[in-house]
């Protein structure tokens, strides 16, 4: 009995040890935010996620979507006329005046840098005539252009509404898409901007404390803050260490500093743990009896400790870390097998012509043989006759 108990204890110890090793292999970050995502800005690889697809309320991080939609749809030099509805908006403002006219780009700057809710509504009404029509068009744009599926916005600013929601993954995808636009990237990374409006002349400072330098993180290149009493603290941030660029989104932390600490943890994790590699053009990957290859040199993200590449029968190459976690996937091109050479099928006319040619050739050959035989016989007779005369 004692021997059996000892065996059980040893087995339990071994299993516990193995589980601890496995848990240590998959690093869990001590994030205070309820939801978070870290992406490679260039490849789109998902490097870390926490409740990434849960329905969340974004607050003013919504303005990232409003900004990229406005930049791609509108005329940045076009003059928008501010309505009374825009002026009446709650929360942070840039103190627009009813009837004031302002270029679309300046409104986008006031919205992203100073989080102006009045500027956000002025943009929506300028682009689509009303906030309601703007929201309808924005949702369609986000789905068809960027490919998000779990986002529904009811306003351009992010003021709380139960039907105004998204996910950390969708917001990361929206941010990642937006920063590839140079106008957006410039405004998103602006720390200080001189502002001159009809009623307010000042210097705007970004609200993002890491970008501003109050919480130093030199690699940070841009960001947008958000907060309402219902949504709590939200933050979207981009960073670049010269080797790899990252996009981080954190949603719903109780304290303001929590979202910055979470973002720093995510960036530390990404910069230390991941690097870029290249799939060479034409490099062959086999699945069963099929061969696939990249059509061009393709940048991938891999763990600094290496990665495992797996190809499925449809040509989707999965890049996995040492623990089997899929970092991202790439669709490769199928290599067509060479077609076997088959003798061309001849038409009836071609066959008749070919037969006629054969008959002609055979006739010529026959005539040549007869002529040669006659010549031989004639030569033989002459030789015989000459012998008799001798």
Report the DSSP pairing between strands 79-81 and 192-196: unpaired
Number of CB atoms found within 10 A of residue 260's CB = 24
Active-site residue, selected from the candidate residues 33, 115, 157, 253: 115
In the residue annotation, 115 being an active-site residue is answered as: yes
Give the Cα separation of 252 and 57 in Å (integer).
8
Residue 73 falls in the annotated catalytic set: no
DSSP type of residue 60 = G
Cα–Cα dist 208/225, whole Å = 6
H helices then E strands: how many in the chain?
11, 17
Question: Catalytic: which of 35, 60, 157, 253?
Answer: 60
Angle (nearest 5°) at CA 228 between 224 and 231: 90
Query: Can you give the length of the chain in residues?
Result: 390
Does the active-site annotation cover 60? yes
Q: How far is Cα 267 from Cα 233, in angstroms, rounded to an integer?
A: 18
Q: C-alpha 289: how far from its chain's center?
A: 29
What residues contact residue 376 under an 8 Å CB cut-off, 6+ apart? none
Q: What is the DSSP code (8-state) at residue 54?
A: S
- Which of 35, 41, 50, 63 is catalytic? The answer is 63
Report residue 244 as tokens: 């790899």
Tokens 């290149």 belong to which residue? 221
Element (H, E) at 183: helix 182-188
d(CA 324, CA 328): 12
Catalytic residues, which ones? 60, 63, 115
């Amino acid at each position: 009995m004692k021997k059996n108990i000892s065996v059980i204890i040893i087995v339990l110890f071994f299993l516990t040890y193995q589980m601890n090793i496995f848990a240590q292999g998959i690093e869990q970050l001590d994030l205070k935010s309820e939801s978070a995502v870290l992406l490679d800005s260039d490849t789109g690889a998902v490097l870390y996620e926490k409740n990434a697809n849960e329905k969340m309320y974004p607050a003013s991080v919504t303005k990232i979507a409003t900004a990229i939609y406005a930049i791609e749809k509108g005329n940045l030099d076009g003059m928008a006329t501010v309505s009374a509805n825009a002026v009446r908006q709650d929360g942070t403002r840039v103190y627009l005046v009813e009837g004031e006219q302002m270029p679309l780009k300046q409104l986008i700057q006031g919205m992203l840098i100073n989080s102006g809710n009045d500027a956000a509504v002025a943009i929506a009404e300028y682009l689509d005539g009303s906030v309601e029509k703007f929201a309808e068009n924005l949702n369609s744009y986000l789905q068809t252009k960027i490919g998000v599926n779990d986002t529904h916005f009811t306003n351009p600013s992010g003021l709380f509404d139960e039907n105004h929601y998204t996910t950390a993954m969708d917001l990361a995808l929206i941010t990642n898409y937006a920063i590839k636009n140079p106008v957006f990237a410039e405004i998103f990374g602006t720390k200080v901007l001189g502002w001159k409006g009809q009623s307010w002349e000042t210097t705007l400072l970004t609200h993002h404390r890491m970008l501003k330098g109050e919480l130093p993180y030199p690699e940070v290149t841009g960001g947008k803050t958000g907060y309402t009493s219902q949504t709590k603290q939200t933050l979207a941030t981009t960073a670049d260490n010269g080797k790899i660029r990252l996009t981080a989104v954190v949603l719903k932390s109780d304290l303001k500093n929590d979202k910055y600490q979470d973002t720093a943890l995510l960036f530390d994790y990404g910069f230390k743990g991941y690097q870029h590699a290249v799939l060479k053009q034409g490099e062959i990957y086999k699945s069963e009896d099929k061969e696939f290859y990249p059509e061009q040199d393709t940048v991938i993200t891999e763990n600094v400790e290496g990665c495992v590449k797996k190809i499925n029968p449809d040509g989707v190459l999965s890049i996995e870390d040492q623990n089997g976690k899929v970092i991202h996937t790439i669709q490769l091109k199928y290599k067509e097998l060479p077609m076997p050479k088959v003798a061309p099928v001849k038409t009836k006319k071609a066959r008749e012509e070919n037969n006629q040619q054969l008959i002609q050739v055979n006739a010529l050959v026959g005539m040549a043989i007869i002529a040669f035989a006659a010549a031989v016989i004639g030569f033989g007779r002459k030789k015989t006759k000459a012998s008799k005369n001798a």
